[in-house]
Structure 1
Amino acid sequence: MNDSAPSRAARLADVAQLAGVSAATASRALNGSDRGVREANRVKVLEAAKTLGYTTNFAAQAVAKGRSRGVTLVVKGMPDDFANPITAGVVAVAQRRGLPFTLISAGPDQADMVEAVNLARGHRPEILMIAGGRTSDDATIPALVEALQRYEAEGGRVVLATQEGLPFDTVAYANRQGGYDMATTLVGLGYRDFAVISGLKHGLTQRDRTEGFAAGLADAGIELSADRVLIGEFTRDAAYALTGELLRRNIAVDAVFAVNDAMALGVLTFLRDSGDPKRVAVAGFDDIKALRDVTPALTTVRLPWEQVAEEALALALGPRGDAPRTTVVEGHVIVRESTPPR
């Protein structure tokens, strides 16, 4: 045994003393909190903890606080083409903040989200984040709200990365604006005959993106008729089938807007398999990482996924507001090879 080894594990008080700060400041710095900790002090605390070999006793914290430190993300239907980018964003931000991370995957049915939230409540996480779109016909929303309110009453913090409208702090995406911007961009590139590969009939994400796209076309003097909006599942495979249905109608189409990138990949794949990959231009929405390996490179609306996660955790780790707060994160159009100028 090394005689120079310390006789006991370093404690929070030891870290605070070495860093020259209060125990409360050391605790907040080590727990990833932004409240009342200057950056210089945060660095000193982390350096002191490293020097002393200090590690946080999460089990003791959970017993003392009735809540375990970290963030639990609940997403619907993993693996899921929409959930992947927000999950990656939350993981990255949690790592930067030194927060333990847990992922719970809810099933595909509406009631599964309520069950997943109740499962998360049993683990007593400090922060519970809910990600993924909702539907306008979801009859389980009152039960979901009740479960989340119970969780907050038990001392946890809830933050949503989804549409506005529920009584909790929310980071929402500017889906309608992104659809609008995509329409005006494509019109500016010379396209005039459009179709939309949309998602579930009652899905709020696809509704907002489709309505925004139609509004952008309308402002340019172009009507998007109902027969040019194809409804199906929010997946790559559904978009593949819908593309075939669209092209069999023999209507003039020079550009297809798919309301997420996974669906856009389904469109591109159908066009490639049909032997005419350049038959129509294709655009998507989200800018998922899988696009790096796609040819032609896909035009899309880029959403800043790590910013979404950062904003969400900032809401959850900061002081509670007097009322639920909403932060709206905007995307921007990235023009690539799949929509060449006409």
Structure 2
Amino acid sequence: MAELAGVSLATASRALAGRDGVSDKVAEHVRQVANQLGYVANMHARTLAGGSTSTVGLIVHEIGDPYFSEIASGVIRVAGERDLMVQICHSGRDPEKEFRQIQTIIAHRAGIIIVAGSGYCDPRLQARSKAALSAFQASGGRVSVIGRHHLTADAVLPDNEAAGRSAAEHLLSLGHRRIAVVSGPDSLTTVEDRLAGIAGAIQRGGLTWSDIPVIPTHFTRDSGLLATEQILRDHPETTAIIALTDAMAIGVLSALRAHGIAVPDQISVVGLDDVSVAADLAPSLTTVRLPMAAMGELALAMALKPPSQRPRRKSTGHQLVVRDSTGPVPAGLSPGPAPVDRARVSGASAGGR
């Protein structure tokens, strides 16, 4: 930051701290450059440069979502082993709020920042966060991310595309052709990736992706319920529903139960993530497991390592977990408009990749 402002480190430090010895004109210039970079003075910069810290800042999209609470549990477990404190913030999938939280965490002297949750398809939406995190790393801080495509940091990358593909292949292998998808906000890379996996499987199965109803909504139980109401109203021929998250799948099951629709005898349901309650639902939820707690553990473990020349990338595994919410196409119903090449969807129950 000092280099970009054209001043010494000492002058930049005095300007940002509001101390004497810097002209008003220079101080204002330094503050403008710092604001453009998203830079916030870190009181523990010297400690960080030495590699020791006591606070981890964790930013998640929605702490009430089981996906993020399980990630947080993994971060907290590793932090506890290292005598670190975890400060958790929730951004609500608002890029501007996320940027402000990054600034606040830095100002609160955190030594490590972990940003968990989908990135944005438009990299401009997280440009300020990217600049702030880069400045933080330049000052000696450590950063890792989970599920982010455009942030320059060590990254844990969930197998979102493969998970979507596995969910669709499972339904195709059961003979389903009339499949609907409860999707999420199209601004998120997680949605883009999971839909890409589903679309690829659908097309390889001999169906046309444009014929598949895709209902965009939010990653919540209530949104899944409302999307299912729309599917039942507008696409009554549907025999299977894929929800992009288990939270939405819970809403799907609730809506079907309210309408007296038997699962899976009339409609099969698949989720993604395998949150802890998925096995305890009635019927238990078929889903694709992502190792959420392990993702949190790995993200903090990566941040605790010495920085590397290039950001490290770690992909997760995935596993299709077949439970009671999926079954064959109901007897007597037409499977759909096109045959499926079974050979091309073989191995649908395979887990890792």
Q: Report the TM-score range of the alignment, normalised by the length of the smaller protein.
A: 0.7 to 0.9
Equivalenced residues, count = 282
Picking from 167, 189, 198, the partner of 2:152 is 167
**Any residues of structure 2 matched to 1:320-335 within 5 Å, and which?**
320-335=307-322
Query: Aligned to 2:225, what secondary structure does the other structure show?
Result: helix
Q: Summarize deviations over 1:250-282 as a string: whole Å, max 9, x none.
A: 442111000000010110000011122323100
Where does residue 119 of structure 1 map in the other structure? Answer: 104
Where does residue 348 of structure 2 map in the other structure? Answer: none
Provide the identity percentage.
Answer: 33
Where does residue 316 of structure 1 map in the other structure? Answer: 303
| 1:96, distance to aligned residue in structure 2 (A) | 3.9
CA–CA distance in structure 2, aligned partners of residues 303 and 120 of structure 1: 28
Where does residue 246 of structure 1 map in the other structure? Answer: 231
Where does residue 65 of structure 1 map in the other structure? Answer: 47
Distance 1:77 1:182, change over 3 A: closer
| 1:81, distance to aligned residue in structure 2 (A) | 4.8
Answering whether residue 293 of structure 2 is matched by residue 306 of structure 1, we say yes
Per mean C-alpha deviation after superposition, the further-off stretch among 96-105 and 143-152 is 96-105
Asked if the contact 2:181–2:244 (Cα under 8 Å) also holds between the matched residues in 1, the reply is: yes
Answering whether residue 69 of structure 2 is matched by residue 84 of structure 1, we say yes
User: How high is the TM-score relative to the length of structure 2?
Assistant: 0.74
Distance 1:250 1:150, change over 3 A: closer
**Any residues of structure 2 matched to 1:165-204 within 5 Å, and which?**
165-204=150-189
Where does residue 133 of structure 2 map in the other structure? Answer: 148
Query: Aligned to 1:125, what secondary structure does the other structure show?
Result: coil
Asked if the contact 2:159–2:290 (Cα under 8 Å) also holds between the matched residues in 1, the reply is: no
Answering whether residue 117 of structure 2 is matched by residue 132 of structure 1, we say yes
CA–CA distance in structure 1, aligned partners of residues 278 and 131 of structure 2: 38
**CA RMSD of the aligned region, Å?**
2.1
Q: Unpaired segments of 5 or more residues in structure 1?
A: 1-61
CA–CA distance in structure 1, aligned partners of residues 328 and 285 of structure 2: 14
Distance 1:333 1:311, change over 3 A: same
Picking from 212, 231, 240, the partner of 1:255 is 240
Per mean C-alpha deviation after superposition, the further-off stretch among 129-138 and 277-286 is 129-138
Asked if the contact 1:68–1:125 (Cα under 8 Å) also holds between the matched residues in 2, the reply is: yes
Where does residue 58 of structure 1 map in the other structure? Answer: none
Where does residue 93 of structure 1 map in the other structure? Answer: 78
CA–CA distance in structure 2, aligned partners of residues 163 and 330 of structure 1: 16
User: How high is the TM-score relative to the length of structure 1?
Assistant: 0.77
CA–CA distance in structure 1, aligned partners of residues 149 and 120 of structure 2: 12
Q: Summarize deviations over 1:104-161 as a string: whole Å, max 9, x none.
A: 2224432000000001001222211000112224643111011101211221100001
Answering whether residue 197 of structure 2 is matched by residue 215 of structure 1, we say no
**Any residues of structure 2 matched to 1:32-51 within 5 Å, and which?**
none
Asked if the contact 2:181–2:212 (Cα under 8 Å) also holds between the matched residues in 1, the reply is: no
Query: Aligned to 1:200, what secondary structure does the other structure show?
Result: coil
| 1:183, distance to aligned residue in structure 2 (A) | 1.4
Query: Aligned to 1:285, what secondary structure does the other structure show?
Result: strand
Per mean C-alpha deviation after superposition, the further-off stretch among 183-192 and 197-206 is 183-192
Distance 1:108 1:141, change over 3 A: closer
Q: Summarize deviations over 1:27-79 as a string: whole Å, max 9, x none.
A: xxxxxxxxxxxxxxxxxxxxxxxxxxxxxxxxxxx697267424221112433
Q: Which has the higher contact order (CA 8 A, sep 6+)?
A: 2
